[in-house]
Amino acid sequence: MDKITIIGAGNVGAHAAVSAATLELGHIILLDKDADLAKGKALDITQSMAVSHSDIMVSGTGNYEDTADSDIVVITAGVPRKPGMSRDDLLDINADILESIVSQVVKYSPECILIVVTNPITTMVQLAYKVSGFSKERVIGMAGILDGARFKHFIAQELNVGASEVMTMVIGDHGALMVPLKDHCQVNGQPIAELLSHQKIENIVSRVQHGGSEIVNLLKTGSAYFAPGLAVIKMVKSILRNEKKTLPCAVYLEGEYSTKGLFVGVPVVLGRQGVEKIVDIHLSEKEAIAFKSSVEHIRERTEGLLEKRAK
């Protein structure tokens, strides 16, 4: 049975654990510095599985030794956003948390695939890559799946259709400079430009780019967790079951999309080895310009953090 460790028993981590358990993906370890919190949520989730006659076990712990030899480690730990905060505001404090966690992951699960959910994702995953020393195929950030789901929902809502009928793709950063690919968005194979006015499309794109903030402002005490928790487990499922799904993730680019030496959100094929292929899609001139701006923002933020931590 595959072993999945989820680090951080807060809202995102707990909902990721529920999603993984519901899909019966393997033995799940929920780890938190507050061991009782992890144990309590793990016990509750395991008992919920018994309701549906599932034998899946979720174990809670505060000890990294219990995570040894995990196949996949998902890092959700970190400080969540509050109203008025951007993901970039979390940079320094979450970098400290992440670096400490990755060192323990490397010690106990040196062969695992590492997935980062901690914000700001594209920079945190680059830090995880540097600290871990893992190959680029085994370090991945969760980003575009969540953003694409929000894009899909808003379009479906506007057109009064099922979300399953909408195809979307979001690339670049996981933040205000993300790039929802309007020219690649279709509803039952029909381009959205034929279904919605330019202004309505632009309004939806803006709402997608600020979708996380919308939820933060409504919740007032934290950020989204249902959708992020399910989004990261979609990645885990594609890897463990070798589904080879094409999903937008933050991965290390070495010249693809005219970008080198940086983690950026692009479509990739996820299989048992982690990132098995980076999928090249044609960008319109406007999309390419927006993507370049997003990449420049990621690079500035990431290089700034790495330079600061090298001193």
As a whole number of angstroms, the distance between CA 246 and CA 148 comes to 13
SS3 call for 259 = coil
- Number of alpha helices (DSSP H) and beta strands (DSSP E) in the chain: 9, 14
Q: What is the mean pLDDT of each run of 10 residues along the chain (311 residues)?
A: 98 98 98 98 96 94 99 94 72 92 98 97 97 98 95 97 97 95 95 96 96 92 93 99 98 98 98 98 96 98 89 70
> Is 185 a member of any domain?
no
Query: Within a domain: residue 277?
Result: no
- Domain-located, residue 82: yes
Tokens of 167: 């195809």
Residue 306 inside a domain? The answer is no
CA-atom Rg of the chain in angstroms: 19
The pLDDT of residue 126 is 98
pTM of the predicted structure, to 2 decimals: 0.96
State how beta strands 274-278 and 260-271 pair.
antiparallel
The H or E element spanning position 308 is helix 285-310
Cα gap 135→139, rounded to integer Å: 7
In a domain, 22, yes or no: yes
Residue 66 inside a domain? The answer is yes
Q: What contacts 118, CB < 8 A, 6 or more positions away?
A: 8, 75, 76, 77, 78, 94, 97, 98, 124
pLDDT computed for residue 50 by the predictor:
93
| Structural domain boundaries, residue 72 | 3-143
- Measured CA distances, 5 to 122, 141, 252, 258 (Å): 21, 16, 23, 34
- Tell me if 34 is assigned to some domain: yes
Count of the separate structural domains present in the chain: 1
- Residue 186 lies inside a defined structural domain of this protein: no
The CATH number of the domain where 113 resides is what?
3.40.50.720
Contact 72, 115 (CB under 8 A): yes
Match 């693809």 to its residue by tokens.
256
Tokens describing residue 211: 């979708």
By annotation, the residues acting in catalysis are 174
